[in-house]
Amino acid sequence: MENLPDSLITEILKRIDKTSDRNALSTVSRRLCSVEAEQRDFLRVGCGLHPATDALTSLCLRFQNLTRVEIVYSGWMSNMGKQLNNQGLIVLSSHCPKLVDLTLSFCSFIGDIGLGHLALCEGLASLKLNFLPGISSNGLLSVVTGCKKILSLHLNRCMKVSSVEWLEYIGNHGNLESLSIKNCRGLGQDDLVMLGPGWQKLKRLEFELDANYRYWKVYSEWAVSKWKSFGFCCENLMELILANCNLDSIRPLSHVLGMCGELQNLSLDVCIGLEDSHMMALSQKSFKLRKLSLNLSPRFMFSMEETCRLTDKGLKELARGCPMLEEFELYFTDCKFPSLNCFTQDGILKLVQGCPIRILTLNSACFFNDTGMDALCSAHFLEVLEIVKCQDVTDQGIQKVLSFPSLKRLKISKCLGVSDAGLKPLVGTGKLESLIVEDCLLISENGVQNAARYVSYRQDLSWMY
């Protein structure tokens, strides 16, 4: 092993992905140990660090070319030894000069002082903080003022983060491209206006309010006036993910949908106030939209007059103004109220026929039936179809799959109207590359055999009870 050329040793190590295998290989010879240490650029540690600071120091001294580090204490209990604390983060700033990407998860003993130490990591470009109960806005401000190169910042369940001086600073002085804020109860959606000029640089935004803690801050009018006073836009935004947000016209976020000329991926998950005007704004501005995911709850889609504000008209506007839309996902979370579905089959079909839809997902779309399956025979671009809890699709509708011109993958889940008889015509045809059947009462494991080149079958009927 000592006589192997460096290029061959490097190639061997590149082909070994498992950390345990790389660790074992490094014990074969000193040379392999040295080369492996030089090549290692990623480290993931957590409950196994004991004593935490000393162990992390040893690892960082051995692997001096680390660019990405994850410290994860998921599942930690007190009998596993002490967690890494604020002093432990000094190790990263002292011994990881090439650190670019850092993830801290479930680190209960790291607070603002620890984040302050990260300010010395001048090359840090990506920071992910997941469930750090000890940090506050002060710690974040220390990081963003010290780490001038941060491009990506993700916060999840950081409950003490409330004030937004850090957000205002990074908006005015930083180059943030990706921002994710999820389930941080001290931050409201209107706080995003404080990003100010930073909106122009943002390429990805994810904001999610805790579904069990819908807390609408009371300064919406101030936020709208602040938004207008900035006079900026979000032309470079390519991905927007909103969950449990309020999109009424008095909210700044409602105006974002009509300002994103580069938007390619949009996901709206149980957002209050969603209406046809938002779809119209998208069709007029977001010509490059490729993926749209709507998770709708009838409980939050109706105005005081009990009329649905998102209808087929909105889908038809998308079909007219989004010529690149190729993936559409539609979910209904409250399927126990099927009569409240705002769309009809006609609206879905107009969208599929007007856009080059390759991937179509319908979940709890009670209006979709065999007639809709028949109409999809004219969807020339459709390659992937997923139907979940579409109880009006029967064997007759599933058999129409044979006439779909481009379909390659089919998923049927929790559909009570489809049986083995519906899949029988597919057996041995080679029409489908992949067939996934999950939790369907009338479909047996034998019924899916040879219905596609790859078949996956599962049956768990607990969802019915």
DSSP state of 250: T
Give the span between the Cα atoms of 287 and 450, in whole angstroms: 41
pTM of the model: 0.90
Q: Residue 336: pLDDT above 60? A: no
Would you say residue 79 lies in a domain? yes
124 and 161 in a single domain? The answer is yes
Q: What confidence score (pLDDT) does residue 188 get?
A: 87
Give the span between the Cα atoms of 372 and 364, in whole angstroms: 14
27 and 102 in a single domain? The answer is no
Q: What confidence score (pLDDT) does residue 230 get?
A: 61
Domain of 7 in residue numbering reads as 1-39
Within 8 A by CB and 6+ apart from 362, the residues are 330, 348, 368, 386, 387, 388, 390
Within 8 A by CB and 6+ apart from 58, the residues are none
pLDDT band at 215 (very low <50, low <70, confident <90, very high): low
Would you say residue 125 lies in a domain? yes
Q: Residue 423: pLDDT above 50? A: yes
Would you say residue 94 lies in a domain? yes
CATH number at 111 reads 3.80.10.10
Give the span between the Cα atoms of 76 and 50, in whole angstroms: 13
Would you say residue 348 lies in a domain? no
Count the domains in the chain: 2
Q: Residue 340: pLDDT above 60? A: no
143 and 107 in a single domain? The answer is yes
47 and 166 in a single domain? The answer is yes
Give the span between the Cα atoms of 348 and 308, in whole angstroms: 16
59 and 158 in a single domain? The answer is yes
Give the highest mean pLDDT range of 4-13, 179-188, 301-310: 179-188
4 and 62 in a single domain? The answer is no
pLDDT mean over 439-454: 96
Query: Which residue, 370, 430, 428, is CA-closest to 395?
Result: 370
Would you say residue 313 lies in a domain? no
Domain boundary among 187, 216, 247: 187
147 and 21 in a single domain? The answer is no
Would you say residue 246 lies in a domain? no
9 and 136 in a single domain? The answer is no
Selected residue with higher pLDDT from 9 and 437:
437
126 and 176 in a single domain? The answer is yes
Q: What confidence score (pLDDT) does residue 5 get?
A: 79
Q: Is the dihedral of CA 196, 198, 204, 205 positive or negative?
A: negative
66 and 113 in a single domain? The answer is yes
Would you say residue 197 lies in a domain? no
pLDDT band at 307 (very low <50, low <70, confident <90, very high): very low
22 and 48 in a single domain? The answer is no
Segment 222-268, tens digit of pLDDT = 666 766 666 667 889 999 999 999 888 778 888 888 889 999 999 99
Would you say residue 144 lies in a domain? yes
Selected residue with higher pLDDT from 413 and 339:
413
Domain boundary among 143, 172, 187: 187
Q: CA 87, 117, 36 angle in degrees (round to 5)?
A: 80
DSSP string, 60-83: HHH-TT--EEEEE-TT--GGG-PP
As given in the structure block, the two tokens for residue 91 are: 């190790």
32 and 131 in a single domain? The answer is no
Segment 63-87, tens digit of pLDDT = 999 999 999 999 998 888 899 999 9
